[in-house]
Amino acid sequence: CESCVELLFVRGAGNCHECDTPLRKSNFRLQLFEDPAVDKEVEIRKKVLKIYNKREEDFPTLNEYNDFLEEIEEIVFNLTNNVDLENTKKKMELYQKDNKEVIQKNKLKLTREQEELEEALEVERQESEQRRLLIQKEEQLQQMIKRKNKQALLDDLVSN
């Protein structure tokens, strides 16, 4: 809870009461999943995928892409389960250094795709709003016609 976090991080840093790992308040985030291991894996996966962000079209064959995905899963597994951490981190650093340009290019591509998706969603929202307004006008027109017909019928009855 927040009060425990405040007590633990009185000086901005503290150790985990379970595993004694040094923690910083600036890196603290609320747990999203009931199982902390799942939360840890999700966070690690996000960090790994920021570096290993190649796509299927970046590979000449599907097998090479699948090998790349296997490598990602191996890294996530190792980091999540504290297996061979030193070599895994070195492997990531080396990959990041060797593929700096591709990583940056794919980040920009992802940003552009997100912007395009947001624009498409905005257009869809506007079209939906226009349809809603059109239906609303149509309903108002129908109600007005009903009232006029009803009034005309009443006027006919009164004049007869």
Q: How far is CA 89 from the centre of its chain?
A: 25
Residue 14: the pLDDT is 67
H or E stretch at 24 = strand 22-24
CA-to-CA distance for 10 and 7, rounded, in angstroms? 5
Residue 111: the pLDDT is 85
144, two tokens: 């007005």
Tell me the H-state helices in the chain.
2-8, 36-51, 62-80, 85-98, 100-159
Say if residue 43 is exposed, middle or buried (CB neighbours under 10 Å; 0-12, 13-18, 19+): middle
Residue 33: the pLDDT is 73
87 with 51: CB under 8 angstroms?
no
Residue 5: the pLDDT is 61
Residue 133: the pLDDT is 96
CA-to-CA distance for 50 and 47, rounded, in angstroms? 5
Cα dihedral 59, 61, 67, 69, rounded to 10, equals 50
125, two tokens: 């929202």
- With a cut of 50, list the residues of the chain below it in pLDDT: none
52 with 68: CB under 8 angstroms?
yes
Residue 7: the pLDDT is 66
Q: Model pTM?
A: 0.57
CA-to-CA distance for 49 and 41, rounded, in angstroms? 12
